[in-house]
Amino acid sequence: MRRYLVGLLATVGVLTLLLVASGAALIFSGPFSAKSLPRSMVLSLDLRNVPPEATSSGLLSGSLFRNSRDLVDTVQILWQAADDPRVVGLFVEIGDDQAGLARVQELRQAIANFRGKGKFTVGFAEQLGGSGGHLGDYYLASSLEQIWLQPSGGFAVTGIAVETPFMKDGLDKLGIKVEGGKRYEYKSAPDSFLETGYTGPARENLQQLLDSLFGQFVTDVARDRRLEAAQVRRLVDSAPFDSERAREEGLVDRIGYRGDALEDVWQRAGTVRDLVSLSDYAGDETRPKPHGDVIALVRVNGPIVSGSSGDGGLLDDDIMANAEDVVDALDRAARAKDVRAIVLRIDSPGGTYPAADAIADAVGRARSAGKPVIASMGDVAASGGYLAAVRADVIVAQPTTITASIGVFTIWPVASELLSSLGVKVDRVSVGTNAGMYSTFQPPTAAQRAVVARELDGVYREFTRQVGEARKIDGPKLDAAARGRVFSGIDAKRAGLVDELGGLQLALSIAKAKAGIDETRQVEIHRYPDEQDRWHRLVDRLFRLAGVSAGPTVRAPREVREALARLGIVARPGNVRLPPLPPLWR
């Protein structure tokens, strides 16, 4: 009876919470929130936090109420605003120096299109390059026609720095050993636990990646600011310095405060004095919207795992790309009669091999059903994220996308020495020679380590086979593109792993061409799954929360397991993913 009452009260509580959340969503996103817009306006875009690749359906994240727009929404609205005669200009607030460079390039391309329509763009920043380890904010600002910098701010764009903690010695002192292996020398994901510093191949590969990313930054900034590339490098090497010197060197145009920048906006806008936020503009039903043939947009966002998103908690963010959900979305888009082509948008460092392989298989089935599939890569589409894209008709990546990492690893901690030092003994009863071989309490035998090595060899062999067949590369060229190497998008194209360099708009244009849609015709983008499915997932989580678990289990808390999974500590071979490389991606 007690269990029944607890379940009943929990159900009533979560249903009440759902009702309140639904009402709030209606207020924030429904007809009550719409505003009448002026006949002429300046669009205001706050990029002090660059939009994420995809928003969350977590209850407290805000995105359920449509206040938070993802990168695809933002870019699409900017492209639509460029064709809207009511919009005369764009005012941008800048300040996210940690933004992924591929997302920045996506926004730069939308801004370039906006400027190409003869409309002005003005940006304001309190400071530039505040963290001193990345350059996303200034890279974005340099695409604007006019840059205002606050007098007290300064220019601190000093380059790109990546720091990686190596924990092997510390774990050894605790009595924790990390078992496992990798294929091959450039697969650096497990090195934080297996090495005491960057290995030679890992350092060489990471330096090559940073040189490529920084080289693109220098080239683009030099072109946009009408400076010599050597001068841009010299200025970055001499930073940080004050705002006045940044103006004198041609890195920014004007020194002043936000009010001064807005006065500049009004002078450019003439009689127009209305500043309209992106959210208000997006809610306007009279703005130009595309109508025509349908292209499906399917997302792979976050580490790729097996299972469904329904397993998440009530307040969880959607930080995982659940293979079951992605496969279902691809299958539904392939069956939909109105869908002419599919764009698979990927922003993922990888995940487990079976999960990524399932997505690749669904891509192949969609193509077999007659639907062209174009892969569009975001900040990162590496390892399993690359595998998910490999069977697409065309792979499109931004020049600064972090991709490839064709390799595999597995690691798991063994705490037998730590437990022994604490006087804890773990005994085992098992059936089967290799039962418990991934135990965290007892190390594997030499024979079991050999089994793990064979499994790693098998996954790597299959991974490279799929890449070779799909990309039509083999032998030395395939080996030079694999072994765990990480590439920028521009280097991946040279290696034969990517077809075209560009963003979502290029992917949509290619999808139109592959589907036989005239390039002058508009297309509608339909998301799979659609927005309503986000509410369905929340309902599922609410009812899961209301349920009462029967039977005890002995396992680490879910938060701990997910945190370890993001670092690659999973007790099974077949992890195909990139390690975190802040500030490049987190």
pLDDT digits (tens, 9 = 90+) for 332-364: 999 999 999 999 999 999 999 999 999 999 999
Phi, psi angles (nearest 5°) of residue 256 = 170, -175
| pLDDT for 483 | 96
Return the half-sphere exposure (C-beta side, CA atoms, 13 A cut-off) of residue 281. 28
DSSP 3-state of 180: strand
Looking at the DSSP bridge assignments, the partners of residue 276 are: 43
CA distance 428 to 533: 45
| pLDDT for 90 | 98
Task: Verify cis geometry, omega within 30 degrees of 0, for the bond prior to 165.
Answer: no
- Which residue range(s) make up the domain with 504? 293-424+436-546+556-577
Closest to 367 measured CA to CA, from 331, 337, 338: 331
Average pLDDT across the chain, whole number: 86
Residue 582 domain flag = no
Model confidence pTM above 0.75: yes
Q: Which residues contact 3 (CB under 8 A, 6 or more apart)?
A: 548
CA distance 311 to 537: 9
Closest to 89 measured CA to CA, from 216, 222, 265, 244: 265
Residue 275 domain flag = no
Domain tally, the chain: 1
Residue 269 domain flag = no
| pLDDT for 522 | 87
Residue 215 domain flag = no
pLDDT digits (tens, 9 = 90+) for 376-410: 999 999 999 999 999 999 999 999 999 999 999 99
Residue 270, both tokens: 């003439």
Residue 517 domain flag = yes
| pLDDT for 292 | 83
Kindly report the CATH number assigned to the domain that includes residue 331.
Answer: 3.90.226.10
| pLDDT for 62 | 46
* CA-to-CA separations, 583 to 101, 131, 566, in angstroms, rounded: 10, 10, 16
Residue 515, both tokens: 């589907």
Torsion of CA 511, 112, 404, 47, to 10 degrees: -110
The string over 133-170, giving b where at least 16 C-beta atoms fall within 10 Å of a residue's C-beta and e elsewhere, is: bbbbbbbbbbbbbbbbbbeebbbbbbbbebebeebbee
Phi, psi angles (nearest 5°) of residue 488 = -75, 165
Residue 6 domain flag = no
Residue 536 domain flag = yes
Residue 87 domain flag = no
Which residue do the tokens 């505003």 mark? 35
3-state secondary structure 188-241: CCCHHHHCCCCCHHHHHHHHHHHHHHHHHHHHHHHHHHCCCHHHHHHHHHHCCE
CA distance 358 to 479: 24
Determine the length of the chain.
Answer: 586
Looking at the DSSP bridge assignments, the partners of residue 277 are: 44
Give me the tens of pLDDT residue by residue for the chain, a chain 586 residues long: 554 444 445 444 544 554 454 444 444 444 445 568 899 999 999 999 999 998 765 544 444 444 568 999 999 999 999 999 999 999 999 998 888 999 999 999 999 999 999 999 999 999 999 777 789 999 999 999 999 999 999 999 999 999 899 999 999 999 999 999 999 999 998 999 999 999 999 999 999 999 999 999 999 999 999 999 999 999 999 999 999 999 999 999 999 999 999 999 999 999 888 999 999 999 887 776 777 899 999 999 999 998 765 455 544 445 789 999 999 999 999 999 999 999 999 999 999 999 999 999 999 999 999 999 999 999 999 999 999 999 999 999 999 999 999 999 999 999 999 999 999 998 989 999 999 899 999 999 999 999 999 999 999 999 999 999 999 999 999 999 999 999 999 999 999 999 999 999 999 999 999 999 998 888 999 999 875 555 555 555 554 444 444 333 334 444 444 555 544 444 455 676 666 666 666 5
Instruction: Compute CA 312 distance to the chain's CA centroid, rounded to the nearest angstrom.
Output: 19
Angle formed at CA 57 by CA 77 and CA 326, multiple of 5 degrees: 85
